[in-house]
Amino acid sequence: MSNTPFSGNRELWLAQIFSSQAAQAGGVVRRRATEVERRIGRGQLELEVRRRGFHMFECAGQFVIVCTRGDVRLIC
């Protein structure tokens, strides 16, 4: 597998994530880290999450995006 990000439409892929029902409702979306790396690259996803004022963390090979600008508190 190549380390080069997916050459398809990155904007469309991002739009699909952030237009999901969960994202629109201020919920949580997740994507496999390997898929993100293949499609757009970790840095590009991080930039988009920051641009939107959302929060993201990585857990068990997944990127978890909290689609709200409100505070997030990790309990345990």
Does pLDDT of 71 surpass 60?
yes
Does 4 map to a domain? no
Residues 2-22 pLDDT 10s:
444 455 688 899 999 999 999
User: Left (φ > 0), alpha (ψ -120 to 50) or beta: where does 43 sit?
Assistant: alpha
Overall number of domains in the chain: 1
Look at residue 47 and tell me if it is in a domain: yes
Provide the domain limits for residue 60.
Answer: 27-71
- DSSP structural state of residue 69: S
Mean pLDDT of 28-38: 97
Task: Provide the pLDDT for residue 7.
Answer: 52
pLDDT computed for residue 1 by the predictor: 42
Query: Do the domain assignments include residue 64?
Result: yes
35 has pLDDT over 50: yes
- This prediction has a pTM of 0.85
Which residues lie below 8 Å from residue 68, measured CB to CB, with a gap of 6+? 26, 54, 55
